[in-house]
Structure 1
Amino acid sequence: MDKGNLKISMILISQHQIGALFLKLHSEQAKNDSFGITNIENRIT
Structure 2
Amino acid sequence: MEYIFSAGSQALLAAGKLVQVTTSTGQVLPLVRDPATGRFV
TM-score (norm: length of structure 1) = 0.31
Q: Which has the higher contact order (CA 8 A, sep 6+)?
A: 2
More strand by share: 2
Q: Which structure has the larger Rg?
A: 1
